[in-house]
Amino acid sequence: MKELRLVVQKFDPFSDAAPRLVEYAVPRREGMTVLDALLYARDYVDHSIGLRFSCRQASCGSCGMKINGRPRLACYTQVDELGAEKVVAQPLDNFAIIKDLVTDLGSFFQRHREVTPRLVRDDAQEQDHPTGEYLMKPEELSRVLQFTYCIKCGLCTSSCPTVATDERFPGPQALAQAYRYTADVRDQGGAERMAELDGTHGIWRCHFAGSCSYVCPKGVDPALGIQLLKRHVMSGRPPHSKDDATKVWKPAEKQQ
């Protein structure tokens, strides 16, 4: 059986002075993902490999790591598609390392929370106790749909050259979600959301390197969302009027 050379960056901040690369021989088979190879190495060769994964189908975003130099999901990357004899797995850049391939996404999730990633209504009573369902047309949905596919895996933020140098930059994931909610016709919180992001360390720190969109495994295209946010700021017009959000479908008994 053909063997795969799997190289894993190992580093325990509590006991190691520096990261080191360790090579494992793994039996290679057709259709094998990088996660399969890592699990084989962990189960049969070195039980100490630190590895995080869950769904194995690119839905949970747990197994993001740098594979052969580029951020990818280990479960969504087949060994064959890499076209290399050697697979090198390293932790995601720009995230603190907990151990080996496991990175700390805590600050990343915090950035996400800071852009108010939910529909906001002017009416506090309506916000907590909606009187009905808010309606969208298909074309209004298509404006935000691809941004809703984000699984918060951190690949975009890991690839971003601005995140690499500016700790206060929210990162492509959070900004793409800011666009996703601001452009949603059911949302009325765009102005407040943008007041936070229209600053030195906000959307204007993005210089459109496009790497976030390049590495995104879910087709979110964060770079597009961020540029569209800039467009809304520069044009002085919100993505939609506040009145757009008034179309509410109420259950039959409430309509009477």
Partner 1 sequence: MSSGAEGKAKNRRGLSGWLNPYHYNFERWAYVFQRVTGVAILAYVIGHLGDTSFFVGGPTGTGPSESSWTFISGLVENSFGHLILILVVLVVIFHGANGIRLIVSELGLILGRPSPIEYPYRPKSLRSVQRVLIWVAIALALVGTGWAVLILFGGSI
With CB under 8 A as the contact rule, which of the stretches 32-40, 114-122, 157-165, 243-251 interacts with partner 1? 157-165
Determine, following the binding rule CB under 8 A, whether residue 68 of this chain makes contact with partner 1.
Answer: yes
CB of 250 to partner 1, least distance (A): 29
Return the residue of 38, 144, 174, 194 that touches partner 1, per CB under 8 A: 144
Return the residue of 51, 223, 240, 245 that touches partner 1, per CB under 8 A: 223
Determine, following the binding rule CB under 8 A, whether residue 44 of this chain makes contact with partner 1.
Answer: no
How many CB atoms lie under 10 A from the CB of residue 192?
11
Calpha distance 30→57 (Å, rounded): 17
Calpha distance 52→64 (Å, rounded): 9
Q: Residue type at 65? A: M
| The pair of three-digit structure tokens given for residue 21, joined into one six-digit string | 């690369």
Widest Cα–Cα separation across the chain:
72
Q: Is the Cβ of residue 25 or residue 141 nearer to partner 1 in the bound state?
A: 141
4 membership: H or E segment, kind and range:
strand 3-10
Calpha distance 100→10 (Å, rounded): 4
Determine, following the binding rule CB under 8 A, whether residue 159 of this chain makes contact with partner 1.
Answer: yes
In 41-119, alpha helices (H): 79-82, 106-114
Q: Is the Cβ of residue 20 or residue 254 nearer to partner 1 in the bound state?
A: 20
Residues in the site for partner 1, rule: CB under 8 A?
11, 13-14, 16-19, 68-70, 91-97, 103, 142-147, 149, 159, 161-165, 167, 183, 206-211, 213-216, 219, 221, 223-225, 227-228, 230-231, 234
